[in-house]
C-alpha cells in the first residue's frame, strides 16, 4: 500500500506556505478524490484472456513469458488482475523506458488511436527516442559511480560511455568488458570512471571486486572477504581469487598549475597497469595465511606478470552459453520493469535465495545471449508481455501476491514503484514546463533545469549515493514537492508555463480541467472528480486560484509521485 503524504504535508503547512493558501490545497487533495496509485479494489471484469491478449507483437519469447507466468498463476491458484487501460499502461511504459511521464499531446493521440498494435508500436518508438538513451545513461551512470560524483571521477566521461552504448545499442557483453578492462584518461576513455569510483580508498581492489561481481554478475561476495559464506557455497578463497584479477590496477592523479590562483589544482586521473605477479595473500579467521591465484569459476589464469588479468577477467565474464552477466542483466531489467526481480534482492543470485520462475529466468538469459546481448530486444520482450500490461490494482483473488512482505512475486499485477529523483524531476518538467516559465530563451531555461535537478538529487540522495534513490515521503522531499522553486513555478501563469498555455487556450472550464488531469496524471478525471471541480468553480470567484490549487494538488498526489 502507498503511504499517505497528505498527513506529512499538513503537519508542516503553517511553516512553509507561500503565496497559495494551504487549507484550500488540502481541501482539494481530499475533495478531488485523486485515485491512489494502487491498492485493493474489486476487479473490473475478468483477468486477461490468455487466448486474446496481445500488444501487437507475435514474438515467441513474449508468448513464452506469458505461458510460464500463467502456469505459475495456475499452480498457486491465483488470478491476474485485469489489463491496464491505455492511460495507466502508457504512463508506466514512458516512465520505465524514457524516464518521464508522457506529454499530454502524446496521451491524447494514443488514447484516440484504434490500432490494435498501438502498444507494441509505442514500445518501438520509445526505444528509438533520444529519451531512452538519456534515461538509461542516467540509470547506469548512477549504478556505476553513484548520484554524487566521487572525487577524481568524471561523470561526463562515464555518461559518454553509456550514451554511446545505449544510443548505438552496443552488445551488453562489450559494454561490460570495456568497463572491467578499461585503462587511460578518465575523459578520453570514460569507462575507467567505473573503476576510479571504486578506488576512493586504497583497499587493494576490494571494492572493485565487490562492485563488479555484484553489479555485473549478480553475486554478493563481499562478506566472504573475511570468512566463508554462512548460507551458500561461496568460500573466502573465492573472493580473493576474484580480487587477484584487479591487483595490477593502479590510479594515477595528475595536477596542474592554475595561473589565476597561483596554486596546483586537480587536473585528471587515469587508470594504469602496475607490475604484479603471483598470488594474493589473505588471512583466515584462525590466523592462518593463505594464497589465492586468479581463478574464475574453476578456470585458472596464468598468474605471471605478463598476463593482463583484467582483460582475461573481461573475456571470461563474457563467454559461455549462459554467463553470469546475462543472468544478472535480465534479473535487473525484469526488476526495473516490474519492481521485483526473479530473486530478491536482485544482486544476490545464489543457492540460498529462491528463484520465483527458474525456467523462465534461464530461458530469458539464454535468449539474451542468442540475441547478441541486445538490450532493446530484452526490453521489448518484457514490455510486450502480458504481466507487464496488467493493472497495478489487486483483486480478491490475488491480494496475497505481495512481495513487499516477503512473499514470492507471482506478477499477477504490476507492483507500484517509487519514482527516482530524476524521473520525478523530469516528469514535473514535462507536466509543467516550469523551467521555461517566465524565461526568455533556451539557454536560460536549461540553466534553471540543471540547477533544480541538482537540488532534487541532493534532497533525494542517499548517504552512500550508490543508486538513484526514490521518493519515499521524507520530510525534506515532501517540503520540496509542496513549496520547492520548481513546483512554485509550475503553478504560476507566466508565459511559457503549462498552466498559462492551458488558461489562454480554447475550451470551457470542464475541458480545461480534463486537460489538467491528462497533463498531470495521464488520464481523464472521474465523474466525482469532475463534479467536485465544478463545485469549486461555482463557489469561488477567483478562478485562477482554483486552477492553481488543483494543479498543485495533482502534482502532489500519490498518483503522480509513484509509477504504477
Phi/psi of residue 252, nearest 5 degrees? -120, 120
Cell 543472468 locates to 327
**Residue (of 423, 426, 425, 407) closest to 415 by Cα position:** 407
pLDDT score for 191: 96
Q: Give the number of C-alpha atoms closer than 13 A to the C-alpha of residue 313, restricted to the C-beta side.
A: 28
Q: How far apart are CA 272 and CA 474, in angstroms?
A: 42
The three grid cell numbers given for residue 86, joined into one nine-digit string: 491505455
Beta bridge partners of 417: 563
CB 237 within 8 A of CB 292: yes
Range 72-84 burial, b when 16+ CB lie within 10 A, else e: bbeeeebbbbbbb
pLDDT score for 548: 85
pLDDT score for 448: 56
Residues in the chain, total: 564
Q: Give the number of C-alpha atoms closer than 13 A to the C-alpha of residue 92, restricted to the C-beta side.
A: 29
Task: Look at residue 93 and give its three-state secondary structure.
Answer: helix
SS (H, E, C) 215-280: HHHCCCCHHHHCCCCCCCCCCHHHHHHHHHHHCCEEEEEEEEEECCCCEEEEEEEEEEECCCCCCE
Count CB neighbours of 351 within 10 A: 11
Q: How far apart are CA 239 and CA 222, in angstroms?
A: 7
The three grid cell numbers given for residue 122, joined into one nine-digit string: 509505442
Q: How far apart are CA 184 and CA 269, in angstroms?
A: 8
pLDDT score for 233: 61
pLDDT score for 285: 75
Which portions of the chain are predicted below pLDDT 50?
1-50, 227, 437-440, 442, 445-446, 463-468, 475
Domain ranges of the chain: 5-38+418-563, 152-317
CB 558 within 8 A of CB 36: yes
Contacts of residue 433, defined as CB under 8 A and 6 or more positions apart, other chains included, come to 496, 497, 498, 501
pLDDT score for 48: 45
Cell 534513490 locates to 469
Instruction: Indicate the burial class of 174 (C-beta count within 10 angstroms; 0-12, 13-18, 19 or more).
Output: middle
Q: How far apart are CA 398 and CA 81, in angstroms?
A: 7
Amino acid at each position: 500500500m502507498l503511504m499517505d503524504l497528505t498527513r506529512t504535508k499538513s503537519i508542516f503547512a503553517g511553516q512553509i506556505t507561500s503565496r497559495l493558501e494551504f487549507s484550500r490545497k488540502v481541501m482539494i487533495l481530499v475533495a478531488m478524490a485523486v485515485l491512489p496509485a494502487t491498492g485493493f479494489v474489486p476487479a473490473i471484469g475478468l483477468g486477461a484472456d490468455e487466448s486474446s491478449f496481445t500488444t501487437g507483437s507475435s514474438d515467441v519469447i513474449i508468448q513464452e513469458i506469458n505461458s510460464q507466468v500463467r502456469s505459475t498463476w495456475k499452480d498457486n491458484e491465483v488470478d491476474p488482475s485485469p489489463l491496464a487501460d491505455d492511460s495507466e499502461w502508457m504512463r508506466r511504459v514512458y516512465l520505465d523506458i524514457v524516464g518521464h511521464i508522457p506529454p499530454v499531446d502524446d496521451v491524447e493521440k494514443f488514447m484516440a488511436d484504434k490500432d490494435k498494435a498501438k502498444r507494441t508500436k509505442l514500445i518501438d518508438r520509445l526505444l528509438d527516442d533520444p529519451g531512452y538513451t538519456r534515461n538509461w545513461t542516467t540509470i547506469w551512470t548512477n549504478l556505476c559511480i553513484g548520484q554524487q560524483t566521487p572525487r577524481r571521477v568524471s561523470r561526463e566521461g562515464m555518461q559518454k560511455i553509456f550514451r554511446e552504448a545505449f544510443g548505438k545499442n552496443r552488445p551488453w557483453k562489450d559494454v561490460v568488458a570495456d568497463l572491467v578492462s578499461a585503462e587511460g584518461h578518465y575523459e578520453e576513455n570514460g569507462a575507467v570512471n567505473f573503476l576510479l569510483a571504486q578506488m576512493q580508498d586504497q583497499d587493494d581492489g576490494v571494492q572493485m571486486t565487490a562492485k563488479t561481481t555484484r553489479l555485473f554478475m549478480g553475486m554478493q561476495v563481499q562478506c566472504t572477504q573475511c570468512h566463508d559464506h554462512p548460507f551458500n557455497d561461496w568460500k573466502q578463497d573465492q573472493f580473493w581469487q576474484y580480487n587477484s584479477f584487479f591487483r595490477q590496477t593502479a590510479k594515477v592523479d595528475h595536477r596542474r598549475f592554475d595561473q589565476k590562483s597561483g596554486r596546483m589544482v586537480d587536473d585528471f586521473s587515469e587508470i594504469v597497469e602496475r607490475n604484479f605477479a603471483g598470488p594474493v595473500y589473505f588471512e583466515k579467521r584462525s590466523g592462518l595465511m593463505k594464497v589465492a591465484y586468479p581463478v574464475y569459476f574453476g578456470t585458472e589464469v596464468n598468474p605471471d606478470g605478463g598476463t593482463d588479468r583484467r582483460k582475461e577477467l573481461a573475456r571470461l565474464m563474457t563467454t559461455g552459453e549462459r554467463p553470469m552477466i546475462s543472468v544478472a542483466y535480465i534479473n535487473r531489467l525484469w526488476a526495473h520493469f516490474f519492481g521485483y526481480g526473479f530473486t530478491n534482492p536482485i544482486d544476490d543470485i545464489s543457492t540460498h535465495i529462491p528463484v520465483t520462475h527458474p525456467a523462465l529466468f534461464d530461458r530469458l538469459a539464454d535468449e539474451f545471449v542468442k540475441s547478441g546481448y541486445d538490450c532493446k530486444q530484452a526490453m521489448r520482450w518484457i514490455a510486450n508481455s502480458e504481466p507487464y500490461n496488467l493493472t497495478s490494482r489487486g483483486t480478491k483473488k490475488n491480494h496475497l501476491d505481495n512481495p513487499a512482505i516477503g512473499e514470492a512475486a507471482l506478477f499477477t499485477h504490476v507492483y507500484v514503484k517509487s519514482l527516482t529523483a530524476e524521473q520525478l524531476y523530469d516528469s514535473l518538467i514535462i507536466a509543467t514546463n516550469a523551467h521555461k516559465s517566465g524565461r526568455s530563451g533556451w539557454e536560460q531555461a536549461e540553466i534553471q533545469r540543471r540547477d533544480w535537478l541538482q537540488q532534487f538529487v541532493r534532497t533525494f540522495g542517499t548517504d552512500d549515493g550508490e543508486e538513484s534513490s526514490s521518493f519515499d515521503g521524507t520530510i525534506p522531499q515532501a517540503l520540496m514537492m509542496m513549496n520547492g522553486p520548481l513546483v512554485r513555478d509550475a503553478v504560476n501563469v507566466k508565459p511559457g508555463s503549462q498552466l498559462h498555455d492551458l488558461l489562454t487556450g480554447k475550451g470551457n472550464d470542464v475541458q480545461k480541467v480534463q486537460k489538467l488531469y491528462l497533463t498531470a496524471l495521464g488520464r481523464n478525471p472521474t465523474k466525482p472528480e469532475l463534479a467536485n471541480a465544478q463545485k469549486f468553480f461555482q463557489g469561488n470567484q477567483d478562478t485562477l486560484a482554483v486552477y492553481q490549487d488543483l494543479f498543485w494538488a495533482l502534482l502532489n498526489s500519490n498518483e503522480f509521485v509513484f509509477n504504477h
